[in-house]
């Protein structure tokens, strides 16, 4: 299924033979490893993402042990961590910083960007817009393998003698530029930068593909206003990524120059390790501007796909159209635009010009409006619904709850006057873990539970799903809610221990609670892992459309081959949210059902469209073929 | 021992797996796939959401009121009172919004759970509703923005000329403080290339006469009720000055001096009396990750009344006096003035020193 396969849209009628043909011809390597099928690539992203999520979670539990139980003897971790456990059985303070750094990097980039966007953009875009595959299957394959390479490099850095990068996931120079400042800024940082460069390549290859596919390969009738909100979300995400990741690449490149070639982009006036460095005239603030020019859009790169997935899942399981479809698109568009002009709210107290601070405060608080609109729309979608609590639905509800709880604290942090006190305290940690970390993670989980039947043709066990949800939902709140109090009390983040300070000597009880909750939350993820892998092989065989959903992916065969549909790609006649339409026989009408077949439920203006449907019926295939 | 724990874990996992298998087989034996949405699981989950909401909101309000004193830091600066007020106003607004939306959402979740024969309402949009909840948050946010902006502009406005200037320097992993000295009240010029390991930790440029009476301190002494201008710099990597009780935070950036002005309103003693804790001390911390010892960058802060503050300043030895070896860096023409200013030589008469300068 090399390049020939991509061109199957040229003549859809021959697809049947082609499918047969393909199953016999391709070998293991081409079907599962270097595969160009978007569905396989999505699964590759998912499995790699799960691996990273587990690792990132374990790292966080190790440093939570230190924070919750500072007296604990960690001798028993010696077989794994070796020299990073000191002779007294304590975690090395530098390794603590490395853990925090790698936890952040892994979770933000490898799990919630590649694992979430990579999985669901790849899986759902062709299936939901009605395309045989991505615009370029080859680039898509490259995208995964660059990610894989990046993963290997990042993973390797964990095992260096000097440890992985340790200057925080934001890698602010000069700390990240000077190996004499911290051990992790040696080879660990070099590998971090190499891994991120590869990661950015992967993300760009993916993003360009997503955008192209959505614009060009929509099936007949799939106008932009008939696209499911998932696709809209992936579309905006990809655009944000394509525009902002290159800036991170530039930032990283300049940092590489400063580190290895003696330039002074970020360095100036430094005396360290007994000598004054020759670097002169650079500005560490420049790096922060460049970093957050990606870093803030990155928040939405992580969040928007999760919001898209949950919009779809909440509508399906409430059996209602999503409330305010156009307002949802509008708010995502608005968020996407604003996300580029709020970055300096991460920098209110860096010594940046205070006037800039006022501008960014204004812009930042404006972004709360479209976010609020989204929450209200979710709640209204639930109103007078007929809600089925599938695990996917529950995780989506969890997402909305986290988005609300975590979003509201953003109003404090976006206010520069209030941010003076809260900046870099646990209040910030609580805020972004809820609104970005947990909300996106829940979106990803919701997506896995919801689309598992399409991915593997089998159902996941829903009882295990419920247990997984409740333990995780309660666990996440127990981990991050108490951090608000700790933050209001002024506890700074990235502290190995607070006992040096009288001011920060309290809250041993809350810190212990947080750590215990973190351990429980991580442990309950193994229920998911068991459920996931067990169900791939032994789960109940899925019905064709298990959730009675309207979107196109459920019209494919149970195990869609490369090319997705046997025969012609279905045409689309209506928007994706015809749930519980008055007069309809069932409580859902899939997108590929023409209005002419549903006269009983058509709205007046929809009856007008019937004529158009008829006139389009034949010509379009020719047009479709002719296009390529 | 470890082996027994391992065996135990394996056993527990095996039992859990058996339970899972058996319950699976039983449900299949009972008649294959049940209609999950109509099953009791749906009702249980809906109720659990309500239980969760009541429980967590209850816990939230109880803890927030019962432990208020534990998680709020007393405030000891003028602008701090203002930002604290803003903080609590924002808190009131957001908690009201949060509580209402949470209750509505979870009640909807419970109320509109799946029921046999119930049909969801086809309600795709409503422009009035959407307009309402775009405009209302926008107005509320506008109010918060403008109050915040005014506070921010006041805080970041330039300090007055009379402000007491103190320089805070961050390095791995300690703070040092430099005072401009009582004689000229001006900080001397510094240059990072002059920093050495033998004593010139500030990189003091001794060709500048303002540097002669500068003195170093390992405690931050501040006068109460007087505007203070902290001049902040860093020698190696980023640090951040954090004075939690004064609501002061500003990064220390190598190559880019920063500053923060504020006015302390309570002396250390007053705060001790206020808290009923005779051992209380103000502290300064670092809030920008700076390496291995980030968590231990502490400096004691002492706020005292103007009189004892001036007395303390007068009692401090100039840096040059503590490091007389550096006299050789002072230009010959200024040597005597330097010695007088640094208090190394009795002032023969202020008029003479004046002439020399």
* Segments in B157-286 forming alpha helices (H): 268-275
Residue B333 has pLDDT above 70, yes or no: yes
Query: Which of B86, B108, B135 to probe by mutation at the A interface, max A CB count within 10 Å?
Result: B108
Distances (CA, A) of A490 to A193, A450, B285, B292: 32, 41, 10, 21
Q: Which of A47-51, A529-533, A592-596 has the lowest mean pLDDT?
A: A592-596
Interface check for A383 against chain B (CB to CB < 8 A): the answer is yes
Indicate whether B36 pLDDT > 70: no
Share of chain A above pLDDT 90, in %: 83
The pLDDT of residue A3 is: 38
- The C-alpha atoms of residue A126 and residue A132 are separated, in whole angstroms, by 6
Which one of A79, A322, A386, A427 would you mutate to disrupt binding with B, by most B Cβ within 10 Å of its Cβ? A386
d(CA A77, CA A91): 9
Q: Which among B70, B108, B119 is the nearest to A580, CB-wise?
A: B119
**DSSP-assigned beta bridge partners for residue B260:** B230
Q: What is the pLDDT of residues A113-136, one digit of tens each?
A: 999 999 999 999 999 999 999 999
Interface test with A, best of B52, B168, B255 (most A CBs within 10 A): B255
At residue A15, the pLDDT reads: 43
pLDDT band at B32 (very low <50, low <70, confident <90, very high): low
What structural domains and CATH numbers belong to chain B? 164-356 (2.60.40.420)
- What is the DSSP-derived secondary structure letter of residue A14? G
| Residue (of A155, A65, A170) closest to A108 by Cα position | A170
| Facing residue for A276 by CB, picked from B120, B172, B195 | B195
> Which residue from A minimizes the CA distance to B288?
A424
pLDDT grade, residue A138 (50/70/90)? very high
pLDDT, tens digit, 9 for 90 and up, residues A226-239? 999 999 999 999 99
- pLDDT given at position B37: 56
On chain B, the residues whose CB falls within 8 A of the CB of A383 are 108, 112, 121, 123
Best probe of the B interface among A492, A498, A534, by most B CBs < 10 A, is A492
Which residue of A323, A369, A492 is in closest CB contact with B242? A492
Residues of A in contact with B120 (CB under 8 A): 318-320, 384-386, 579-580, 587
pLDDT of residue B350: 54
B248–A420 C-beta distance less than 8 A = yes
Most B-contacting residue of A503, A524, A577, A589 (CB-CB within 10 A), to test interface: A503
In this predicted structure, the answer to whether residue B100 has a pLDDT above a threshold of 90 is yes
Nearest-CA residue of chain B relative to A490?
B244
Phi then psi for residue A542, to 5 deg, are: -80, 145
CA A444 – CA A439 distance, rounded (Å) = 9
Q: Is the pLDDT of residue B353 over 70?
A: no
Please report residues of A whose CB lies closer than 8 A to that of B80. 421
Chain B partners within 8 Å of A386 (Cβ): 112, 114-115, 118-120
Mean pLDDT of A77-102: 92
Residue A242 has pLDDT above 60, yes or no: yes
Nearest to B104 among A357, A379, A461 (CB): A379
- CATH number for the A3-267+279-538 domain, one of 2.40.480.10, 1.20.210.10, 3.40.640.10, 3.30.70.3040? 1.20.210.10
Is A269 at the interface with chain B, CB within 8 A?
yes
Is residue A39's pLDDT more than 90? yes
> Strand locations in B214-304, DSSP E?
215-217, 220-223, 227-234, 239-243, 248-252, 258-263, 282-286, 299-304
A189 interaction partners in chain B (CB closer than 8 Å): none
Query: Cis peptide before B47, with omega less than 30 degrees from 0?
Result: no
Q: Which of A57-66, A104-113, B95-104, B322-331 has the lowest mean pLDDT?
A: B322-331
Q: Which residues of B touch A97 (CB under 8 A)?
A: 289, 291-292, 294
Q: How confident is the model at residue A615 (pLDDT cuts 50, 70, 90)?
A: low
Within the 415-454 window of chain A, which residues sit less than 8 Å (CB to CB) from chain B?
415-418, 420-421, 423-425
Contact A582, B122 (CB under 8 A): yes
Q: Which residues from B are below 8 Å from A481, CB to CB?
A: 56, 60
Distant-in-sequence, close-in-space partners of B119: CB < 8 Å, separation ≥ 6: A319, A386, A580, A587
Any bridge partners for residue B220, and if so which? B301
Average pLDDT over residues B225-233: 95
Does A358 reach chain B within 8 Å, measured CB to CB? Answer: yes
Q: Over 70: is that where the pLDDT of A14 sits?
A: no
Average pLDDT over residues B341-357: 63
pLDDT at B22: 84
Please, what is the Cα angle at B93 between B87 and B94, to 5 degrees? 85
Residue with tokens 């062709």: A126
pLDDT value at residue A610? 85
Smallest CA–CA distance from B48 into chain A, residue: A470
Q: Give residues with Cβ within 8 angstroms of B85, minimum separation 6.
A: none
- CA A465-A470-A476 angle, to 5 degrees, is 120
The DSSP secondary-structure symbol of A162 reads: T
**Confidence bin at B185 (pLDDT 50/70/90):** confident
Q: Does A334 touch chain B if contact means CB atoms closer than 8 Å?
A: no
> Taking Cα atoms as reference points, which of A300, A453, A462, A452 lies closest to residue A394?
A462
Nearest-by-Cβ selection for A411 from B94, B153, B250: B94
pLDDT tens-place string over residues A383-402: 999 999 999 999 999 999 99
Q: Which chain A residue has its CA at the smallest distance from B124's CA? A: A323
For chain A, the average pLDDT equals 90
Calculate how close chain A gets to B14, using CA atoms only, in Å.
Answer: 12
Asked if the model's pLDDT at residue B351 lies above 60, the reply is no
pLDDT digits (tens, 9 = 90+) for B186-217: 999 999 999 988 888 899 999 998 999 999 99
Contact A324 B24 (CB under 8 A): no
Distance CA(B194)–CA(B235), nearest Å, equals: 12
Closest Cα in chain B, distance from residue A513 (Å): 14
Look at residue A592 in the predicted model and tell me its pLDDT: 93
Q: Which of residues 492-531 of A touch B (CB under 8 A)?
A: 492-498, 500-504, 506-507
Give the CB-side neighbour count of residue B183, counting CA atoms within 13 A.
22
Interface confidence, given as ipTM, is: 0.92
Whether the Cβ atoms of residue A294 and residue A245 lie closer than 8 Å to each other: yes
pLDDT band for position A21 (cuts 50, 70, 90) = very low
The DSSP bridge partners found for residue B215 are B179
Closest residue on chain A to B111 (Cα): A384
Band of residue A505 on the pLDDT scale cut at 50, 70, 90: confident
Taking the Cβ of residue A321 and every Cβ of chain B, the question of whether any pair is shorter than 8 Å is answered with yes
Q: What is the per-residue pLDDT for B349? A: 58
User: In chain B, which residue's Cα lies nearest the Cα of A184?
Assistant: B291
Structure tokens at B254: 């190598």
Q: Choose from A75, A96, A102, A490 for mutation: most chain B CBs within 10 A.
A: A490
Domain with CATH 1.20.210.10 in chain A: 3-267+279-538
- Give the confidence band of B346 by pLDDT, cuts at 50, 70, 90: confident
Mean pLDDT along residues A216-243: 95
Quote the pLDDT of residue A85.
92
- What is the rounded distance in angstroms from the CA atom of residue A470 to the CA atom of residue B49? 9
Query: Which pLDDT score, from 0 to 100, does residue A616 have?
Result: 58
Interface A–B counts its CB contacts (< 8 A) at 330
In angstroms, the separation between the Cα of residue B348 and the nearest Cα of chain A is 39
Chain A contact probe: residue of B27, B67, B295, B302 with most A CBs at under 10 A: B295
B144 against B25, higher pLDDT: B144
Chain B residues lying within 8 Å of A416, measured CB to CB? 148, 152
The pLDDT-based confidence of A622 (bands split at 50, 70, 90) is very low
**Could you report the per-residue pLDDT of B251-296, keeping only the tens digit for each?**
999 999 999 999 999 999 999 999 999 999 999 999 999 999 999 9
Taking an 8 Å cut-off on Cβ atoms, the answer to whether B251 and A411 are in contact is no
Instruction: Please calculate the CA angle A16-A20-A23 and round it to the nearest 5 degrees.
Output: 140
pLDDT band at A623 (very low <50, low <70, confident <90, very high): very low
- Which of A97, A378, A418 has the CB atom closest to B83's CB atom? A418
Which residue has 């004054």 as its token pair? A276
Residues A570 and A555 sit within 8 Å (Cβ to Cβ): yes
Name the 3-class secondary structure at B160. coil
Q: Is A409 on the interface with B (CB under 8 A)?
A: yes
Judge whether residue A45 has pLDDT over 90.
Answer: yes
């Amino acid at each position: 299924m090399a390049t020939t396969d991509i061109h199957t849209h040229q003549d859809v009628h021959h697809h049947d033979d082609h499918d047969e043909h393909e199953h016999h011809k391709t070998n293991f390597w081409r079907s599962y490893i270097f595969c160009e099928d978007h569905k396989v690539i999505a699964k590759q992203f998912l499995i790699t993402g799960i691996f990273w999520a587990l690792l990132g979670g374990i790292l966080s539990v190790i440093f939570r042990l230190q924070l919750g139980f500072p007296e604990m003897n960690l001798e028993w971790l010696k077989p794994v961590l070796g020299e990073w456990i000191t002779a007294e059985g304590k975690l090395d303070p530098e390794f603590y910083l490395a853990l925090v750094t790698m936890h952040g990097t892994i979770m933000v980039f490898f799990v919630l960007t590649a694992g979430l966007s990579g999985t669901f953009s790849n899986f759902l875009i062709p299936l939901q817009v009605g395309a045989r595959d991505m615009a370029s299957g080859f680039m898509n394959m490259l995208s995964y393998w660059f990610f894989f390479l990046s993963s290997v490099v990042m993973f390797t850095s964990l095992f260096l003698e000097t440890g992985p990068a340790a200057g925080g996931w934001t890698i602010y120079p000069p700390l990240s530029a000077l190996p004499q400042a911290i051990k992790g800024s040696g080879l660990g940082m070099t590998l971090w930068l190499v891994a991120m460069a590869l990661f950015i390549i992967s993300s760009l290859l993916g993003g360009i593909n997503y955008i192209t596919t959505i614009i060009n390969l929509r099936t007949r009738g799939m106008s932009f206003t008939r696209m499911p909100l998932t696709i809209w979300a992936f579309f905006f995400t990809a655009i944000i990524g394509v525009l902002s990741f290159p800036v991170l690449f530039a930032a990283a490149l300049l940092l590489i120059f400063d580190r290895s070639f003696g330039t002074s982009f970020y360095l100036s006036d430094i005396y360290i390790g007994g000598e004054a460095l020759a670097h002169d005239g650079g500005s560490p603030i420049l790096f922060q501007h460049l970093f957050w020019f990606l870093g803030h859009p990155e928040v939405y790169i992580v969040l928007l796909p999760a919001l898209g997935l949950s919009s779809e899942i909440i509508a399906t399981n409430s059996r209602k159209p999503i409330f305010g479809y156009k307002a949802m698109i509008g708010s995502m568009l608005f968020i996407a635009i604003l996300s580029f002009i709020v970055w300096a709210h991460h920098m209110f107290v860096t010594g940046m010009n205070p006037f800039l601070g006022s501008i960014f405060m204004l812009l930042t608080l404006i972004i709360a409006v479209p976010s609020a609109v989204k929450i209200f729309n979710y709640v209204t979608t639930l109103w007078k619904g007929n809600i089925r609590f599938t695990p996917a639905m529950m995780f989506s509800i969890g997402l909305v709850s986290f988005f609300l709880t975590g979003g509201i604290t953003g109003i404090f942090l976006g206010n520069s006057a209030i941010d003076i006190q809260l900046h870099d305290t646990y209040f910030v940690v609580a805020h972004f873990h809820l609104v970005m970390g947990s909300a996106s993670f829940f979106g990803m989980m919701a997506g896995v539970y919801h689309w598992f039947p399409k991915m593997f043709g089998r159902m996941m066990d829903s009882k295990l799903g419920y247990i997984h949800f409740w333990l995780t939902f309660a666990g996440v709140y127990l981990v991050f809610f108490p951090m608000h109090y700790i933050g209001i009390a002024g506890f700074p983040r990235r502290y190995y221990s607070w006992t040096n300070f009288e001011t920060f000597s309290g809250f041993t009880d809350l810190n212990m609670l947080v750590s215990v909750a973190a351990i429980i939350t991580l442990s309950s993820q193994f229920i998911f892992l068991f459920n996931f892998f067990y169900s791939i092989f032994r789960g109940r065989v899925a019905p064709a459309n298990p959730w009675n959903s309207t979107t196109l992916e459920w019209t494919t065969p149970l195990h869609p081959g490369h090319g997705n549909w046997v025969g012609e790609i279905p045409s689309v006649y209506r928007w994706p949210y015809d749930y519980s339409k008055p007069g309809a026989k069932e409580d859902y009408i899939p997108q590929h059902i023409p209005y002419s077949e549903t006269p009983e439920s058509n709205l007046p203006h929809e009856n007008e469209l019937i004529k158009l449907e008829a006139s389009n019926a034949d010509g379009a295939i020719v047009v479709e073929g002719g296009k390529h | 021992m470890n082996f027994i724990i391992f065996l135990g874990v394996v056993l527990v996992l095996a039992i859990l797996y058996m339970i899972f298998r058996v319950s699976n087989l039983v449900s299949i034996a009972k008649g294959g796939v049940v209609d999950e949405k109509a099953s009791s699981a749906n009702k249980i989950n809906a109720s659990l959401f309500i239980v969760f909401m009541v429980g967590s909101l209850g816990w939230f309000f109880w803890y927030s009121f019962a432990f208020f004193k534990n998680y709020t830091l007393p405030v000891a600066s003028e602008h701090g009172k203002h930002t604290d007020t803003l903080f609590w106003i924002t808190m009131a607004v957001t908690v009201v919004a949060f509580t209402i939306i949470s209750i509505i959402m979870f009640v909807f979740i419970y109320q509109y759970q799946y029921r046999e024969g119930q049909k969801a309402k086809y309600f795709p949009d409503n422009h009035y509703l959407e307009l309402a909840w775009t405009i209302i948050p926008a107005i509320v946010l506008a109010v918060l923005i403008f109050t915040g902006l005014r506070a921010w502009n006041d805080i970041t406005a330039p300090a007055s000329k009379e402000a007491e200037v103190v320089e805070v320097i961050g390095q791995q992993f300690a703070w040092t403080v430099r005072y401009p000295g009582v004689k000229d009240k001006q900080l001397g010029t510094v240059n990072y290339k002059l920093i050495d390991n033998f004593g010139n930790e500030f990189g003091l440029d001794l060709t500048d006469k303002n540097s002669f009476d500068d003195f170093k301190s390992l405690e931050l002494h501040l006068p109460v009720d007087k505007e203070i201008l902290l001049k902040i710099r860093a020698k190696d990597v980023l640090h951040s000055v954090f004075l939690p009780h004064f609501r002061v935070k500003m990064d220390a950036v190598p190559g880019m001096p920063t500053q923060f002005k504020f006015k302390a309103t309570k002396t250390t003693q007053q705060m001790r009396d206020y808290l009923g804790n005779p051992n209380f001390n103000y502290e300064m911390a670092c809030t920008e990750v700076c390496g291995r010892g980030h968590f231990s960058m502490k400096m004691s802060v002492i706020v005292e009344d103007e009189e004892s503050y001036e007395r303390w300043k007068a009692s401090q030895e100039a840096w040059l006096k503590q490091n007389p070896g550096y006299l050789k860096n002072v230009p010959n023409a200024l040597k005597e003035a330097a010695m007088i200013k640094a208090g190394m030589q009795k002032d023969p008469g202020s008029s003479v020193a004046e002439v020399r300068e």
